[in-house]
Structure 1
């Protein structure tokens, strides 16, 4: 589907308007934010325009998290999530490939049948008495000609199969890339919530780690709204990216991480004991405290960044989603007891319902 088809002069004018709007609304200059504002300015996405106007009625600036939600709801479905259009195109291409192969196979089969009948006729002729030299040479030439014909037909079929195999391989690669992109958070380039859940579901279906103790960590940046309000959304996005980089650099190869909310992350660590899970959570908490983000206008370091962490440890099973619930409860317990803490879920962990605001202030 061609979505952006403006002429060069028109696209230049839209680009100028997009930059102006992004500056006016206080948007961070990221690909996701640019795409949202581009579709707003160009007028090609009415539902998105209505959603943005609704936000602008509430505030003159646009929060990065709100823009990302709009991107996922009004833009991503057209490209990645359903993949319906792509599947339709893929089906047509596969149908064409199969028709080509079928046609080549039919031609080869017909040629083989013709040669078979010819060979039987030549065999009978060669067994006849009184066969003269001229007739013998004619039969030999015919046998050689038909042998060459069936060889060429077989070579043609093999070439067709090879060519179409390459086409199928390309289609498979395109589909794989599209599916992978649907699982990735565009800001941090780590798994999004959908991708994170899919990865764990795949592990369970494959029978990996079944019944083996695993750890699930829920991590939330403390006072994230205050960071946005005090330093702007560009700094807020930098904080989210910085945390994602620390997570990637602090876990092992077989540990999965994802951004499952605005400032919320999840870490799944298989084959992990209670001691190892708590040690991992504490290491992440301390490493995140070392993050240094500079305010571009003052070139000064912003205040120390901290996170609250909730952790659940349980044998891996088909009910792994309950680990999310328990780790979430532990996370809220960390935030309600002062933040910048690690809490391990137990049966005594309180069920704090006031999510995102456990002690009267956001995050």
Structure 2
């Protein structure tokens, strides 16, 4: 047993040493969140997160604090939400059990009352009725009725309490569900919700033949901006883009932040021309905002975004539509950034810039 513990101890120290090496090579700092992300990476506990890290390193050669925060929220913080949901579900089950117990008592009370009335009815039918006997019967009925009324009042009060408790739990579960689908920094949908809505919209377009489009946008030179002005100012830029998306996209769009500085807009019912109009509105409005560092009032200039637009076509899957929108966005990057390119340019042109 001591040997096993010693082996586990040595293994954990070996993991920790590798984590430190990776944070030094690919990370901006050794924050607790960064350590947690890299430790999980080295331990191989979350394969999807490992794939995401490998993609980011391939693209950027490093991870920013924003990247590690996003990875933590998307892949490692779900346990807390699951725990909250589990606690709430257990409380609700307890409330339901209490209500069922009260209903059982009420049913038993009603059955006893019916049995008493049946007994009295038989007594009246088969036996001689005297004034004294009538008085006894009436007294018995009144007493039984009072018992049932008392039981019903207790049940009614308990039901009111349980209804209020269950309503509170329902709100808590809904808040937990929404939190699990929301990017905590921008308040937009996270990648999980983005993928769910993209799949639903593609399925609807496939079944009904209606239009739908997808916008993918990426902040230009975000890493350089983040390194120059700091993590908190970088967060300010991400929030700015989210605000502009809300102002420009309309009520039926699903707005998402699904990567470090990558955003998506799912547009059910809109064709390529309409989607491009929204994409251009977002791009121009982002460029039109002057950034000011909150702590000092220093002007930081402006940022821009590169935007790709893809319209649904027969046979598309969520993956193929997203890939085409991504290719359009990368084409915008290659063409000089701060522009919108849609998939009307043709597959050959997009593949050429990929």
- Which bracket does the TM-score occupy, shorter chain normalised? 0.7 to 0.9
Taking the TM superposition and a 5 Å limit, the aligned residue runs for 1:35-74 are 37=31, 39=32, 47=36, 63-69=64-70, 71-72=72-73
Check 1:95–1:239 CA distance in 2 against 1; reply closer, same or farther (3 A cut): closer
| 1:260 alignment counterpart | 258
2:343 counterpart of 1:347: no
Aligned length: 309
The 2-side partners of 1:301 and 1:213 are apart by 42
Per-residue CA deviation, residues 45-96 of structure 1 (Å, 9 max, x unaligned), is 97458589xxxxxxxx98332341453267513312xx1x334323432332
Cα distance between partner residues in 2 of 1:202 and 1:86: 27
Aligned to 1:127: 125
Closer/same/farther in 2, CA of residues 191 and 206 from structure 1, 3 Å limit = same
Is the partner of 1:267 in helix, strand or coil?
Answer: strand
Residue deviations 1:91-147 (CA, integer Å, cap 9, x gap): 432332232222222222222222222112211222356422122101111111112
* TM-score between both structures, scaled by the size of structure 2: 0.75
CA distance in 1 between counterparts of 2:311 and 2:300 reads: 34
Kindly state the Cα deviation for residue 343 of structure 1 after the two structures are TM-superposed: 0.9
Relative to structure 1, the CA distance from residue 98 to residue 352 in structure 2 (aligned partners, 3 Å threshold; closer, same or farther) is farther
The question of whether the paired residues in 2 share the 8 Å contact of 1:211 and 1:317 is answered with no
Q: Deviations over 1:332-361 (max 9, x none)?
A: 11111111111111333323686xxxxxxx
- Distance across 1 between alignment mates of 2:272 and 2:351: 21
How much has 1:205 moved relative to structure 2? Answer: 7.3
| Structure 1 residue matching 2:285: 3-state secondary structure | helix
SS of corresponding position for 1:188: coil
**Deviation digits for residues 206-233 of structure 1, max 9, x if unmatched?**
8999421111100011111221233333
User: Which residues in structure 2 correspond to 1:169-248 (within 5 Å)?
Assistant: 169-201=167-199, 210-248=208-246
Q: Distance in 1 between matches of 2:173 and 2:204?
A: 21
Mapping 1:1-363, distance limit 5 Å? 37=31, 39=32, 47=36, 63-69=64-70, 71-72=72-73, 76-80=77-81, 83=82, 85-128=83-126, 130-201=128-199, 210-295=208-293, 299-314=297-312, 319-345=317-343, 346-351=346-351
Report if aligned partners of 1:215, 1:270 keep a CA contact under 8 Å in 2.
yes
- The question of whether the paired residues in 2 share the 8 Å contact of 1:192 and 1:260 is answered with yes
Aligned mates of 1:298, 1:119 — CA distance in 2: 84
- Secondary structure, aligned partner of 2:243: helix
Q: Name the structure where helix makes up a greater proportion of residues.
A: 2
Relative to 1, partners in 2 of residues 1:261 and 1:316: Cα closer, same or farther, differing over 3 Å? farther
Q: Which ranges of structure 1 fall in alignment gaps of 5 or more residues?
A: 1-24, 28-35, 53-60, 355-363
Q: Secondary structure at the match of 2:256?
A: strand
Structure 1 distance, partners of 2:316, 2:95, is 39
